[in-house]
């Protein structure tokens, strides 16, 4: 039992170190372009790139992923969110850029995550002496299932957070429009009342001049 617990803890620690990731929230000002970087030291790892615009304007942004040698891997314009996984075939620095130059005044808040995962390192699972291969295989399968389920939960949380932020922004925009419409309606009512008083006074003044 003690060997199983030690093996489980070592597997968890190994899977935690097999993946390097960066999750950030960034406020991108109008007419701003900002880039973030990650380095790949060997060929073959999987690079996961996720982003979602949480607020600002129409919730859209331009993005670009550039690899070593200024090779454009992927790009897009006016995207609200994206989730990609690609294989890093070249060693070097990868650049992930967000471009808000098309916006005249609206700043954007972006949640994004960059993760680099080496599948070859993951395949070499450490084992304890005296542990049966069958038990190691079962623990590996359990860890992979837990990792997959945690990844699914994490993505669902990101999705619901994005939906909540966008719905809240829509509610605030609707409240602002209702408030502005109420002010305009009130000004129009006051103007109409003033015009009615002016017209009535004009008719009465004209009638008095006719009698005189």
The average confidence (pLDDT) of the chain is 78
Q: What's the confidence (pLDDT) of residue 58? A: 83
More confidently predicted of 22 and 168: 168
% the chain with pLDDT above 90 = 24
Handedness of CA 120, 122, 126, 132 (dihedral sign): negative
CA distance 197 to 199: 6
> For residue 64, is pLDDT > 60?
yes
Q: Look at residue 128 and tell me whether its pLDDT is greater than 60.
A: no
* Confidence at 4, pLDDT banded by 50, 70, 90: very low
2-165, what's its fold? Jelly Rolls (2.60.120)
Measure CA of the first residue to CA of the last residue in the chain; give whole Å. 116
Contacts of 46 (CB under 8 A, 6+ apart): 85, 86, 87, 88, 116, 117, 118, 119
Q: How does pLDDT run across 66-92, given as a tens digit for each residue?
A: 999 899 999 999 998 888 889 999 999
Report which DSSP code applies to 68.
G
Instruction: Please tell me the predicted confidence (pLDDT) of residue 208.
Output: 58
- The residue with greater pLDDT, 8 or 92, is 92
Nearest CA-CA partner of 61 in 47, 75, 72: 75
Q: What is the mean pLDDT of residues 108-137?
A: 67
Q: What is the pTM of this model?
A: 0.62
- Residue-level pLDDT at 76: 92
How much of the chain, in percent, has pLDDT values that exceed 70? 77
């Amino acid at each position: 039992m003690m060997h199983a617990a030690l093996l489980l803890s070592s597997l968890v620690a190994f899977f935690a170190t097999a993946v390097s990731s960066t999750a950030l929230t960034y406020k991108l000002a109008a007419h701003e372009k900002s880039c973030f970087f990650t380095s790949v030291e060997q060929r073959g790892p999987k690079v996961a790139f996720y982003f979602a615009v949480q607020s600002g304007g129409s919730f859209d942004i331009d993005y670009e992923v550039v690899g070593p040698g200024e090779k454009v891997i992927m790009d897009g314009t006016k995207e609200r969110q994206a989730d990609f996984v690609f294989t890093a075939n070249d060693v070097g620095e990868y650049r992930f850029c967000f471009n808000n130059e098309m916006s005249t005044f609206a700043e954007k808040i972006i949640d994004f995550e960059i993760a680099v995962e080496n599948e070859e390192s993951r395949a070499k699972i450490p084992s304890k002496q005296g542990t049966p291969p069958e038990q190691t295989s079962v623990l590996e399968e359990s860890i992979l299932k837990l990792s997959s389920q945690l990844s699914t939960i994490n993505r669902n949380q990101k999705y619901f957070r994005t939906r909540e932020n966008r719905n809240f922004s829509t509610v605030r925009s609707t409240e602002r429009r209702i408030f502005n419409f109420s002010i305009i309606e009130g000004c129009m009512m006051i103007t109409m009342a003033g015009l009615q008083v002016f017209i009535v006074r004009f008719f009465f003044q004209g009638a008095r001049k006719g009698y005189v």
